[in-house]
Structure 1
Amino acid sequence: MVYRYAVAGLGLVLMGLGGALLVQQPSPWRIALWLAGAVVVHDGVIAPLVIAVAALTAALGPRLRGVPRAALIVAGSVTAIALPPLLRPGGAANPTVVPLDYLRNWLLTMAAIALATALHAATRAALLRGTRHRS
């Protein structure tokens, strides 16, 4: 129980530090708007999508239905990280930024996640079928 209060206290301290740093920024409202947008995207797009996939994959059984959920969580996390360059493509004000085709690379990453998910699910299903036939 002590650890729970310690972690909660540390969380409150870090939230206060983050708020103080936010207010010190030259345009805190733009950052706050971006953070609010991240919450809206998570709660309005990513979470309902994961719930819908969970409902659609419930028939797969408890050992297989976590695979597409995990893939969506990974894809959502990668997308959240990739959103700034995806939403604002073009030249950067910082000359050290590597000029990449972020949309193409994001699409390739999503395809790799889908392929890895399909391969993992197929392998897992085959292994589960093999253990059922042996017993």
Structure 2
Amino acid sequence: MVGRYVLGALAVAMMGLGAVLVVRTGTVWEVVLWLVGAIVLHDGLIAPLVLGLGLLLAALPARGTVRAGLIVAGSLTLIALPLMLRPGTAPNPTALPLDYVRNWLVLMGVVALGTGAVLGVRRLAQLRRRS
């Protein structure tokens, strides 16, 4: 119980520090714009897309495996998206020297192949059990 209060107080202190830093740097409106944009993006695009995919997956017999592949693909996309959408070139060319779009596409292919391989192995095992 005490740990919960300590963590809560620490979280409130960190939020206060963040608010002070935002006010000091004069980026309040930029942060507000970013937060509003994040809410609109989540509620207007991401949540309906995830719900629609969930409804489509409900009819699949192997929905658990497909769901796991989509979770991995979505997580990799969230990690790579800021680097793929970064405007212009990096100030230090050695900091981000990779082609992130190409590498993300390769990873999506690996995830799709891995998911397909798991589905194939499970299907073969199921067929062997029947015969």
Task: Determine if the TM-score, normalized by the shorter chain, exceeds 0.5.
Answer: yes
Q: Which runs of 5+ in 2 are unaligned?
A: none
Residues 67-106 of structure 1: matches in 2 within 5 Å? 67-79=69-81, 81-82=82-83, 85=86, 89-90=87-88, 96-98=91-93, 105-106=99-100
Question: CA 1:12/1:69 → structure 2, altered by over 3 Å: closer, same or farther?
Answer: same
Q: Deviations over 1:87-130 (max 9, x none)?
A: xx3467xxx43399x9x934324412320221111111022123
- 1:25 is aligned to 25
Task: Kindly report the root-mean-square deviation, in angstroms, between the aligned alpha carbons of the 2 structures.
Answer: 3.2
CA distance in structure 1 between the aligned counterparts of 2:84 and 2:46, rounded to whole angstroms: 13
Question: CA 1:52/1:105 → structure 2, altered by over 3 Å: closer, same or farther?
Answer: farther
CA distance in structure 1 between the aligned counterparts of 2:101 and 2:116, rounded to whole angstroms: 22
Q: Deviations over 1:11-58 (max 9, x none)?
A: 222222111111111332123322332333233323332332222223
- 1:13 is aligned to 13
- 1:35 is aligned to 35
- 2:101 is aligned to 107
Residues 57-76 of structure 1: matches in 2 within 5 Å? 57-58=57-58, 59=60, 60-76=62-78
Give the TM-score taking structure 1 as reference length: 0.68
Given that residues 53 and 68 in structure 1 are in contact (C-alpha distance below 8 angstroms), is that contact kept between their aligned partners in structure 2? no
CA distance in structure 2 between the aligned counterparts of 1:130 and 1:4, rounded to whole angstroms: 49
- 1:121 is aligned to 115
1:133 aligns with 2:127: yes
Aligned length: 127
Q: Deviations over 1:33-88 (max 9, x none)?
A: 22332333233323332332222223133233221133123213422x23762xxx
Give the TM-score taking structure 2 as reference length: 0.70
Larger C-alpha radius of gyration, 1 or 2? 2
| Percent sequence identity over aligned pairs | 29
